[in-house]
Amino acid sequence: MKIQRIDHVAVIVNNLPAAKGFFLDFGLEVKGEWEMEGDLMGYAVGLNDAKVACVGLGTPGGQTWIELIKFYNPLDEKDIQRPFANSLGIRHIAFTVEDIEAVVAKLKEKGTEIFTEIQQYEESYKLCYVRGPEGIILELAEEIK
């Protein structure tokens, strides 16, 4: 038995167009869009009468996706969470980028919250954390060569 790769990470959102736009502005590309409902969908996610819209996004030429999912049914009873970086659970998605200064400047122009300025970690990486719509946190890392 061997694990081949991480296939995708699912991010549940209320505003699918805003989340999709954020990731497109960041530089990902749409790999697919679809809707699902019915018995198989409900069985797969453990919810009754589930109906969703999905957008799969990935890096150009990459295999791993981020899957943005909007549940039309059933609705979540809670409001959007804005967790801190130390909140329990999956907290951020990390991307290695080229020219972190240019990426951060582009995201700032689009109104993205930059909640840590670019910092250098030893002699290996420049790092920055940004928050997109609905509390989505990205860690940006540029390898220092």
Which pTM value belongs to this model? Answer: 0.86
Rounded CA separation 69/126 (Å): 31
pLDDT at residue 106, rounded to an integer = 94
Distance CA 27, CA 63 (A): 15
Q: What is the mean pLDDT of each run of 10 residues along the chain (145 residues)?
A: 83 94 95 87 75 93 90 79 75 92 94 91 93 90 92
pLDDT at 6: 83
The CA-CA-CA angle for residues 21, 104, 141, to 5°, reads: 105
pLDDT value, residue 83: 74
Closest CA to 30 of 53, 2, 51: 53
pLDDT of residue 20: 97
pLDDT at 43: 67
Q: What are the b/e assignments for 94-120, b being 16+ CB within 10 Å?
A: ebebeebeebbeebeeeebeeeeeeee
- The class level of CATH for 8-73 reads alpha beta
Taking the domains of the chain in order of start, what are their residue ranges?
8-73, 93-143
Q: Token pair of 30, please?
A: 């749409």
- 82 alpha carbon, distance to own chain's centre: 14
CATH 3.30.720.110 fits 93-143, yes or no: yes
Spatial separation of the C-alpha atoms in residues 8 and 98, rounded to whole Å: 22
